[in-house]
């Protein structure tokens, strides 16, 4: 294992995602420029079981839907950490990504980070991708990727948009090697990548570049995302409001 990948990941993002929801996967090389190609490698819902130090705390899910010329990616993240059966930390995140011609055209997110509410809105424009979030307004590069970890260009990137804070994160990604991991209740071969910089984590993709696993450390706990089959109840969770009442704007809202 290379030096950059040998140390356990330290925090700076919980998404998976997402975030999320992220969150967060990727597709045959020739298809990165077209929404239909991006969607075709994935099941309708990609779901992860999340454990902290070996104990179950919640799920991360992403849903992929083709809407004419656009690809819509919805992100759901829900964590709850308890001590002696008493909840001590809760994290909730919802996101909606709209992709057109291989680029992010709109992003809406809402987050409850243990009682702290945050919102991010982003829109593609002439000068780049305009973002308004907790860290203020900024213009990101037009080809920026959000921190949901699924896009085919992700492993070639050196920066991304933090979907919770609305800030730009810089990093390096190196391939560690191919490993056997558990996903969907079976053993699969997956390529492991290490991200180091403003955010530190390890993630695994299969031969089709579909996201299978993630691992990182946050608030002193070791977190693992393991891919599991979605259930029939999962589709209804993506538009559900946070426990604080904060919700995503209705689809199509300007």
Q: What does each of the 254 residues of the chain score in pLDDT, given as a tens digit?
A: 333 333 333 333 333 333 333 333 222 233 333 344 555 667 799 999 999 999 999 999 999 998 888 999 999 999 998 888 888 899 999 999 999 998 999 999 999 999 999 999 999 999 999 999 998 999 999 999 999 998 878 899 999 999 999 999 999 999 999 999 999 999 999 999 999 999 999 999 998 889 999 999 988 889 999 999 999 999 999 989 999 999 999 887 76
Residue 25 lies in a domain: yes
Please count the other Cβ atoms lying within 10 Å of the Cβ belonging to residue 205: 22
Residue 247 lies in a domain: no
Residue 254 lies in a domain: no
- Tokens 């919980």 belong to 14
CA distances (Å), origin 168, targets 129, 137, 198, 202: 12, 11, 9, 19
pLDDT for 22 equals 32
Enclosing domain of residue 28:
3-237
Beta strands in the chain (DSSP E): 45-52, 55-67, 70-83, 86-100, 103-113, 116-125, 128-133, 136-140, 159-161, 168-183, 186-197, 201-205, 211-218, 221-228
- Tokens 């191919």 belong to 178
pLDDT for 8 equals 33
> What is the distance between the alpha carbons of residues 30 and 206, in angstroms, rounded to a whole number?
17
Residue 197 lies in a domain: yes
pLDDT for 39 equals 55
Decide: helix, strand or coil at residue 207: coil
Q: Are strands 103-113 and 221-228 parallel, antiparallel or unpaired?
A: unpaired
Task: Output the six-digit token pair for 88.
Answer: 């001590």
* CB of 134 closer than 8 Å to CB of 165: yes
Q: Which residues contact 233 (CB under 8 A, 6 or more apart)?
A: none
* CB of 69 closer than 8 Å to CB of 100: yes
Residue 7 lies in a domain: yes
Structural domain total, the chain: 1
Residue 253 lies in a domain: no
Stated pTM of the model: 0.84
Residue 229 lies in a domain: yes
* Per-residue burial over 80-107, b = 16 or more CB atoms within 10 Å of its CB, e = otherwise: ebeeeeeeebbbbbbbbbbbbebbbbbb
Residue 251 lies in a domain: no
């Amino acid at each position: 294992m290379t030096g950059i990948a040998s140390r356990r990941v330290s925090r700076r993002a919980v998404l998976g995602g997402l975030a999320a929801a992220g969150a967060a996967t990727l597709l045959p090389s020739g298809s990165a420029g077209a929404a239909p190609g991006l969607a075709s490698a994935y099941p309708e819902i990609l779901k992860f079981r999340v454990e902290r130090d070996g104990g179950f705390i919640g799920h991360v899910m992403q849903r992929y839907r083709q809407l004419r010329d656009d690809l819509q990616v919805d992100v759901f993240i829900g964590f709850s950490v308890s001590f002696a059966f008493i909840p001590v930390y809760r994290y909730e995140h919802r996101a909606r990504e709209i992709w057109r011609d291989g680029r992010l055209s709109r992003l809406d997110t809402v987050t409850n980070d243990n009682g702290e509410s945050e919102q991010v809105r982003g829109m593609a424009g002439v000068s780049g991708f305009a973002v308004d979030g907790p860290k203020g307004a900024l213009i990101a590069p037009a080809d920026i990727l959000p921190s949901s970890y699924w896009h085919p260009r992700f492993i070639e990137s050196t920066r991304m948009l933090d979907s919770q804070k609305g800030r730009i994160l810089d990093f390096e990604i190196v391939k560690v090697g191919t490993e056997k991991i558990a996903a969907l209740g079976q053993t699969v071969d997956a390529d492991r990548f290490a991200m180091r910089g403003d955010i530190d984590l390890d993630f695994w993709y299969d031969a089709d570049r579909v996201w299978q696993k993630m691992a990182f450390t946050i608030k002193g706990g070791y977190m693992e995302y393991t891919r599991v089959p979605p259930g029939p109840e999962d589709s209804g969770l993506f538009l559900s409001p946070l426990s604080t009442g904060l919700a995503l704007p209705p689809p199509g809202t300007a």
